Amino acid sequence: MSEPPALSKPVLEPIRSEEDFERFLGKFTNYERMKTFRYAGDTWNLERMVGLARDLGDPQAAFRSIHIAGTKGKGSTSLMLESLLASSGYSVGTYTSPHIESLRERIRSRGAPIAGRDLCSLASSVLPVLEKRHLWGPERFPTFFELMTVLAMIEFRERRVDWGIFEVGLGGRLDATNILLPRSTAITSIGLEHTEQLGNTLESIAGEKAGIVKPGVPVVIGRLPAEAERVIRAVAAERGAPVVAAEPFLVRSEAPGILSVGGFPVGWSSGSIPEGVIRGEALRRDLALAIHLWTGALREDGRDPTQDQLLTALERLSLPARIEMFPGTIPLVVDGAHTRESVRALREALDETSFPRPRVCIFALAADKPAPAILAELKDLAAEVFFTRADTLRGRDPAHLAQEFREIGGVASAAIEDPVEAFHAARKRMRPLVISGSFYLAGKLRPIVVRMRETENAARSR
């Protein structure tokens, strides 16, 4: 590669604060903020990511990694696995997307989001490489997601983590995270989402996600549609990758003092796994995947999982905006469900845990989601729905959603553009409240819910 022309003036300014970092991010193409985009080799280019990592010393080679793809459940599986590995004494770095309240959540090290000052320092350290790539032309300059991915890799290298857990951003085959050479991979679920980019059949979507399967590297799969599972298994067979099917999370007797947890035996003398934040079948499936990945990591070091490690992991686990319940006089739940399957899973989990009815729901939906199918599931979740718009760029018109909902027999109380106004209006109903439809909506309202509960608890303790 030839040297770029001499720099007349820096394109990227020094990064001294989080405000500087936000301005810095504006230089990068962010596909997450676009309604539509082309998904092809000229826009999604692993060669660019490989070159960027090489320029920065291939940080992804400095730690052992686990790579997780899937339509739903990959974020919760990643956080569960983080807790399991940490309970076993490993230092862990976790990279997930999207974030809920803060961009810093995407890069977690040793159980906490990266500090703002550390994120600025990381970004500053890569400026010389980015300047050079900018001069080579736009085809060499990274996207927002590629930048965040390589910053996570550098952070994990600098922190000397034992394990790096990486959630795929979109698809798998062309995703920036796919430069990893992981010790194991996982595909949590496959459904019809991002069809404009990944294809409009389960087989085509499965083919994209199977792109993370590496020669000889075990792949753990969740419960997949038959046509999608056939594709995954065919790719795995072609690449000599062992396939492990993680059964939904079960606790059952295998022998005196031994129970089967997630499909493999763990010493267990009495009692059962505490419910904690594992609510509903969907999260139990994610836990089964995480347990299999955790077991593989332990056994690579000649270790076996223990009851104490599992209990510790579940007690410490936090899953923000994933069927996250806030008890109180008027109970609330915050969830990011935004597909037909995830809204159904939310409804089933709420019924399973006896979350009271009749319920009020605040709901927002992105423009690229299939509204009719999702609204049909929503009708059975709540007696009354307030529609709002969490994302001004990609959100559906709440008035249109309300009208569609009424047409299928749902009770749409109002369409309120501002999520905070919608929250206060829904609260006046004095009924159990569900916030769902978008991680953007969860990110806007969860801080209000947390502060409200803290104020109520403080008042009760006086």
Task: Decide if pLDDT at 375 tops 90.
Answer: yes
Question: Using an 8 Å Cβ cutoff, are 70 and 189 in contact?
Answer: yes
Element (H, E) at 247: none
**Token pair for 299:** 């056994």
**Token pair for 313:** 């992991």
Count CB-CB contacts under 10 A for residue 305: 23
48/54 Cα distance (integer angstroms): 10
Single out the residue of 303, 59, 76, 69 nearest to residue 164, CA to CA: 59
**Can you give the C-alpha Rg of the chain in angstroms?**
22
CATH (residue range 324-461): 3.90.190.20
Task: Decide if pLDDT at 76 tops 60.
Answer: yes
37 or 172: which leads in pLDDT: 172
Note the pLDDT of residue 270: 36
Domain(s) labelled CATH 3.40.1190.10 in the chain stretch across: 18-246
Question: Using an 8 Å Cβ cutoff, are 385 and 405 in contact?
Answer: yes
Note the pLDDT of residue 281: 85
- Residue with structure tokens 């608890």? 457
Cβ neighbours for 179, distance < 8 A, ≥ 6 positions apart: 46, 49, 50, 53, 60
Burial class (CB in 10 A: 0-12, 13-18, 19+), 442: buried
Task: Decide if pLDDT at 4 tops 70.
Answer: no
Going across the sheet that includes 163-167, the strands are 112-113, 107-109, 92-95, 163-167, 64-69, 184-187, 219-221, 243-245
Note the pLDDT of residue 252: 43
Sign of CA dihedral 154, 155, 160, 165: negative
Question: Using an 8 Å Cβ cutoff, are 188 and 77 in contact?
Answer: yes
Domain(s) labelled CATH 3.90.190.20 in the chain stretch across: 324-461
In this predicted model, what pLDDT tens digit does every residue of 285-312 receive, in sequence order?
A: 898 899 999 999 999 999 988 878 988 8
Question: Using an 8 Å Cβ cutoff, are 101 and 447 in contact?
Answer: yes
Note the pLDDT of residue 31: 75
Architecture of domain 18-246: 3-Layer(aba) Sandwich (3.40)
Distances (CA, A) of 21 to 25, 31, 330, 391: 6, 18, 39, 21
Helix axes 280-300, 74-87, angle to 10 degrees: 40
In this predicted model, what pLDDT tens digit does every residue of 321-345 receive, in sequence order?
A: 999 999 988 999 999 998 888 999 9
Full-model pTM:
0.91
β-bridge mates for residue 109, sequence order: 93, 112
First to last CA, the chain: 68
